[in-house]
Structure 1
């Protein structure tokens, strides 16, 4: 009889055990998104900490998982993202936002027709972020490339404010045709080169119309594989420009920036005064076998007037720049607004560059 009761007790326990386990188990669902742009993240591994129970997010970033209890902890991992542990805390819907890993190999690079990670790039692409030139008093976006990318030669032929620059990505490939690279701003080709004929026969730079402070990054495509999508227009290389924009889940930030300074010629040539010029001319006349006293009055020289013509046409130029910008966004709306004013005097009188942009 004792054995009979023992069999009944074990049978009852086995019948109750699945129900007990079912009561402890819990099914949860959720969605994984990116903190940078709010986009859903497919292929993220979601595992219950301390177990082998897990799943991966689908194409829309959704996942569904059975956990052993309400106090379970989820471990999320994915290439290019920071690993994250999230307590369930008795929730049935657990949405998770993941941060991208700050790593040079996982840096996103724009290639013209898509974006990809730097470690997957086989072509020659140089990347320049706005942190490299934000404190430099530049007046055009091509001037921001100067000294920032290997193999990119940027030269300035004059000190004219807003004047043209020479940018060479693949060297001088033609004698008669243009050697300028192709400039693409947010997917749109823009005019480059001389806009108008400026003061003193200098050319104004069309790229100076754009505010460099609105630029987020440059991608310079150098070799044939990187620039193939643009065809023959990209024979001299391509400069892809991405402008600043708001980001999802970003608090609204307002930034004000002011710059003031001056431009001046470092070393001026040492010119002769009227007495020194008269002595030099008398010596030249004597060497020519003539009498210098018969030359008579030379205006500005023998009448004792000293005129430094460099002082008459040159000056210390003042430049000033002011900018105010606002940036932010949420899940549905992202925005970036900016206003900029720049006024720069050249070292040559009547030489000036002014720009207002928004």
Structure 2
């Protein structure tokens, strides 16, 4: 263990970092690093050189990595680099955006310079533009794209939150701090004062009728956003507010079966408290105003931070396992996910289970068949608990009795407030609750037929069948969140069901002649139908806390069916 460490380079170009544990050896601190990557062994030596473009100018920022290791560096402003290799059999991999990757065997050389060839992928890569793809050079509309890997850099519950601040022209605003809440998405601003400004979400080619919270971010391959009139041309008035095209993962042809796993566990803490007066500041203000005197529960020597008594530290847990692969004629991908997020407000949490599968299989020479299914079950809890009580309570009001127990209410000069603390909320979570359970399945099937003898001509039929049901329930027990301990209990139940189908018939022709001239034409016939039904019932004076909201017919008080809470909508193309 007396091998000396000669160098340690940070791979800034690859944004690589790691924690280096230290141990004490022979009176010195020695990093525990892989010897093959960092220690000087037989045949190890330093290689330097210059990476240039075809015109001879140096290329800055080129990544130079020893293949099969984490040893690497980047070229400086003039294209020069220096790197340590472990042995003569090492291979240097040179890569940079816009240039073809090069692999060079080192041997016993100490100086290696290389010229990189520019690649023209930018003009030949394809972009998703609604009903199909198009080469980037032919796209005339405004299309913004982001990969699934970039989305997953931020651990969030839904893709809307992951898009926040990531794409130009796309505004994401969070209207609720409750876990799992879907954000508001605006593409190039707000268009209407009264109508909906939400963009159209298209999942794997089929208009998506559900909540974006039903889509597991781990399943995303890419997201493309159509931001101009091209969206309206493709999707009609449905795309007037822009279109969010979501493409989920698929396997690769010829790939052996591969099991993947990803997961993280983290804590969620309060970013910043509301700036409220402390006890001494409030006392000084009241004395300066000379309007109110202290109530029975107030004293000048009391200093209570009601926000500290309410907030908690939440846990965020995300686990995903998948299987993907393919053959020479097909590919598949299946994934199961679990996500749970606790809010900083007690009882607020969001739980989601998801299962997704996709299969794409060629049948013979001219036919392809496949399907994609996305299924989720989610539970959102705690929307009944807010922070009004913590912000409304006087900082000089003492919530504790002489024996240290919490009072039920505190009296202030103009108000009496139910004591809302973390302990109170958690102790009454079976008597003061709100939850929404959602079950959704989104399914797409397709068949594609290539016309024999006519190169580039094919017919495709897409069928989307979707179903989503959301059941809500809330219960507030007697005297809960109320001044009087005899305030009767209340409960409510709600139900919302969405059924949706879409059928698309697409005839397309795409062919390049002479390597320069391209013809791309598409004819489409689409039919869709969407039915939404919602109902809600409320009741007072539930005879027992054990009933909660599960049997409102036994309520001793009034049962209310508000016509404004009952909805039925049907639309289609």
Q: Is the pair's TM-score, using the shorter chain for normalization, greater than 0.5?
A: yes
- Which structure is higher in strand share? 2
| 2:335 maps to 1:342 | no
Q: How does 1:75-94 map to 2 (within 5 A)?
A: none
Instruction: Give 2:225's aligned residue.
Output: 220
Name stretches of at least 5 consecutive residues in structure 1 with no aligned partner: 1-81, 83-100, 193-205
Cα distance change of structure 1 residues 115 and 277 upon mapping to structure 2, 3 Å threshold: closer
Higher relative contact order (CA 8 A, sep 6+): 1
Cα distance change of structure 1 residues 170 and 282 upon mapping to structure 2, 3 Å threshold: closer
* Range moving further from structure 2, 219-228 or 230-239: 219-228
Cα distance change of structure 1 residues 226 and 302 upon mapping to structure 2, 3 Å threshold: closer
Q: TM-score, normalised by structure 1?
A: 0.61
Instruction: Give 2:188's aligned residue.
Output: 170
CA deviations over 1:293-334 (Å, ceiling 9, x no partner): xx5x62332285543210222112221111111110102342
Instruction: Give 2:308's aligned residue.
Output: 311
d(CA) in 1 for partners of 2:331 and 2:296? 70
Contact 1:126-1:219 within 8 A present in 2 as well: yes
Instruction: Give 2:256's aligned residue.
Output: 251
Contact 2:160-2:182 within 8 A present in 1 as well: no
Partner SS, residue 231 of structure 1: helix
Q: How does 1:139-178 map to 2 (within 5 A)?
A: 139-178=157-196
CA deviations over 1:159-202 (Å, ceiling 9, x no partner): 2211131211131110001111100001221235xxxxxxxxxx
d(CA) in 1 for partners of 2:274 and 2:243? 41
Contact 1:125-1:226 within 8 A present in 2 as well: no
Name stretches of at least 5 consecutive residues in structure 2 with no aligned partner: 1-99, 101-118, 356-573
d(CA) in 1 for partners of 2:217 and 2:223? 11
d(CA) in 2 for partners of 1:270 and 1:170? 33
d(CA) in 2 for partners of 1:352 and 1:103? 45
Alpha-carbon offset, residue 262 of structure 1: 1.9
The one of 345, 353, 356 aligned to 2:353:
356
d(CA) in 1 for partners of 2:123 and 2:157? 32
Cα distance change of structure 1 residues 181 and 119 upon mapping to structure 2, 3 Å threshold: same
Q: TM-score, normalised by structure 2?
A: 0.39
Contact 1:191-1:207 within 8 A present in 2 as well: no
d(CA) in 1 for partners of 2:222 and 2:305? 46
* Range moving further from structure 2, 325-334 or 233-242: 325-334
Partner SS, residue 225 of structure 1: helix
Partner SS, residue 139 of structure 1: coil
Contact 2:268-2:344 within 8 A present in 1 as well: yes
Q: Which has the larger radius of gyration?
A: 1
Instruction: Give 1:132's aligned residue.
Output: 150
Cα distance change of structure 1 residues 341 and 129 upon mapping to structure 2, 3 Å threshold: same
Aligned length: 238
d(CA) in 1 for partners of 2:314 and 2:171? 27
Contact 1:112-1:240 within 8 A present in 2 as well: yes
CA deviations over 1:191-234 (Å, ceiling 9, x no partner): 35xxxxxxxxxxxxx21121011011111111213441210111
The one of 233, 239, 244 aligned to 1:234:
239
The one of 276, 295, 298 aligned to 1:298:
295
